[in-house]
Amino acid sequence: VISKARRFPASPPPVEQVFPGIWSIPVPIPNNPLRYVLTYALELEGGGIMLVDSGWDAPEALEGLEAGLAVAGATLADVRGVAVTHIHPDHYGLAGRVREVSGAWLALHPADAALIATRYGDVDELLGQVAAWLRGAGTPEDEVEPLTRSSMEIREFVKVAPPTLLIGDGDPIAAPGWDIVAIHTPGHSPGHVCFHERRTGVVFTGDHVLPHITPNISVHPQSGSDPLGAYLTSLERMLSLGPLPALPGHEQRFPDLEARVRELLAHHEHQLEQVLELVVAGADTAWEVTMRFPWSRSWDRITGFIRRAAIGETHAHLVVLERRGLIAHEGDQPLRWHPV
Ligand SMILES: [Zn+2]
Ligand SMILES: [Zn+2]
């Protein structure tokens, strides 16, 4: 999920073979500005397909995935494994359905696997935590309930399925004919992983690094205490890979991962400066900072889940500023921020 949509290509990219044996398949996300998630099908030595991500659980998505696999000369039954970058519905939602048809293994990082039950199962406890967090952020009382429930609709697009494999940082992925390792890149999600295919040099970046839009990095009850700090560290780790070709989860593939990572690091430094200026100017809650922040559209047009994600993103920047010793906070409901 992304809070700051800017440019989108005019139409989804075609199903295409982007490297020998690697197919890019845009899977539709109905009624969503992102419009599609890019899943990737890797032809395995000895037959079969491994998927990176799956799309979400909707009939149009399943049809799109099947149609894309057909272009690659495969069917759902050929899928041997689904390596999932993170548990957001657009990446993980359909994986359980694919596993039902094919018996494929399903791999997730343990930090995201641990969130499945509370997020997609019995959510009462999580909803209470979200409401408490929103109050801590200074959200006006009449907005707390609707914003708390704003993520509920999206849960329908997940076929809840436990992973059959847990993948940690540096773990190899069992994909015959390929040399793939997982890189743990927490930030957008605590268990987000990228996959580095070392034979071609290509990196599957999920939502960690996208070519134009910036992924939402939010404080929320399942984010860990400093998600932006984690994200910046995860970005810095990508720099050591160098200028490799990237296959992202949205938009389109791009040729230089390192250059884009540097842009994202600069973007967040700039956003940290903007948030600090607002706190210095007297905005003393995450809500106040968020309302005054120069988003790409006006505040009254930022509604529902996007509004909640914006508050979470501001909060994430406040936490980093505090860790850097530039601001501090008091209180709890709400947390009140001030410069030091
Ligand atoms: Zn995501
Ligand atoms: Zn996504």
The secondary structure of 34-52 as a DSSP string is T-EEEEEEEEPTTS-EEEE
Please give the distance, rounded to the nearest whole angstrom, from the Cα atom of residue 89 to the centre of ligand 1: 8
Query: In angstroms, what is the span from residue 319 Cα to ligand 1's centroid?
Result: 21
Q: How many angstroms separate the alpha carbon of residue 243 from the centre of ligand 1?
A: 23
Residues 6+ apart with CB under 8 A from 272: 317, 320, 321
Residue 3 is predicted with a pLDDT of: 43
Ligand 1 is a single-atom ion; what residues have CB below 5 A from it?
A: 88, 207
Tokens of 72: 């690659």
Q: How far is it, in rounded angstroms, from Cα 209 to Cα 321?
A: 23
Q: How confident is the model at residue 9 (pLDDT cuts 50, 70, 90)?
A: low
CA 195 – CA 246 distance, rounded (Å) = 10
Mean of the per-residue pLDDT values for the chain?
94
CA of 155 to the centre of ligand 2 (A): 14
* 151 has a pLDDT exceeding 60: yes
How close is the Cα of 47 to the center of ligand 1, in Å? 30
> For residues 90 and 96, what is the distance between their CA atoms, to the nearest angstrom?
13
Compute the distance between CA of residue 215 and CA of residue 213 in angstroms, rounded to an integer.
7
Asked whether the predicted pLDDT for residue 30 surpasses 90, the reply is: no
Say how many Å lie between the CA of residue 249 and the centre of ligand 1. 8
Query: Residue 286 — φ and ψ, nearest 5°?
Result: -60, -40
Q: Are 264 and 279 within 8 A, CB to CB?
A: no
Q: Output the CA 135–ligand 2 centroid distance in Å.
A: 27
* pTM across the whole model: 0.94
Q: What is the pLDDT of residues 188-235, one digit of tens each?
A: 999 999 999 999 999 999 999 999 999 999 999 999 999 999 999 999
For residue 32, the CA-to-ligand 2 centroid distance in Å is: 11
* Ligand with smallest separation from the Cα of 33: 2
Give the helix/strand (H/E) hosting 107: strand 105-108
Instruction: Inform me whether the pLDDT recorded for 23 exceeds 90.
Output: yes
Distance 280 CA to ligand 1 centre (A): 32
Ligand nearest to the CA of 56: 2
